[in-house]
Amino acid sequence: MLNNFTVNFVEHSEVSSTLLNDIISLKQQHWPHSYNSQLDWINKNLNSNDYHLLLMNNEGELLGYMNLVHRIVNGNPVLGVGNVCINNVVLNKGIGTLLMQISKYYSNQLLLDLVLLCKIELVPFYKKCGFYQYHKKVFMEEKVFDRCIMFSNDSYNLENSITIDRNF
């Protein structure tokens, strides 16, 4: 059980190189891409006003991570949830669920819906966290997007199609 931890929101423009290294190291536990590839992806897809949500233990070790990015869906501002990953040492201890709860609380305070892109095998986890799968046509960056997409609000399922301005 995780008893002592801190939760930090860090604006992308304020991320130190040390913290960025920790984020990339954690991401590499789940996505087998080189350091430079991870760094290039972050620099291409995160804007300076996007956020890194970090859960750390008392020793400063990164236990859980996600980014929250400002995006537009069908002309409306939303927060995109990306790169949700948990340190292998604490997998299946509720950290992912806690991160999702924190992101939902934060988005509710901003009156913004959450949107996330995921692999099909992660749909049950995100449904358990209160997300709704969208089953109709999705366009991202003017191209058809054919992976799973989920929202924190079921009203998007009333739309015949949705358009997301940028990848995340």
What's the average model confidence in pLDDT over 52-60? 95
pLDDT digits (tens, 9 = 90+) for 14-41: 999 999 999 999 999 999 899 999 999 9
Residues 6+ apart with CB under 8 A from 103: 53, 66, 68, 79, 81, 114
pLDDT for the residue numbered 142: 87
Q: Which band of pLDDT confidence, cut at 50, 70 and 90, is reported for residue 136?
A: very high
How many percent of the chain have pLDDT more than 70?
99
Residues 6+ apart with CB under 8 A from 78: 71, 72, 112, 113, 114, 115
DSSP the chain: ---SEEEEEEEGGG--HHHHHHHHHHHHTTS---HHHHHHHHHHH--TT-EEEEEEETT--EEEEEEEEEEEETTEEEEEEEEEEE-GGGTTSSHHHHHHHHHHHHHHHHT-EEEEEE-GGGHHHHHHTT-EEE-SEEEETTEEE-SEEEESSGGGGGSSEEEESS--
Confidence of residue 4 (pLDDT cuts 50, 70, 90): confident
Query: CB of 118 within 8 A of CB of 126?
Result: yes
**How confident is the model over 115-135, as pLDDT tens digits?**
999 999 999 999 999 999 999
- pLDDT at site 101: 97
- 115, β-bridge pairs: 80, 151
Q: How many CB atoms lie within 10 A of CB 87?
A: 20
The full set of domain ranges for the chain reads 5-164
What pTM was computed for the model? 0.91
| Domain at 5-164: CATH architecture | 3-Layer(aba) Sandwich (3.40)
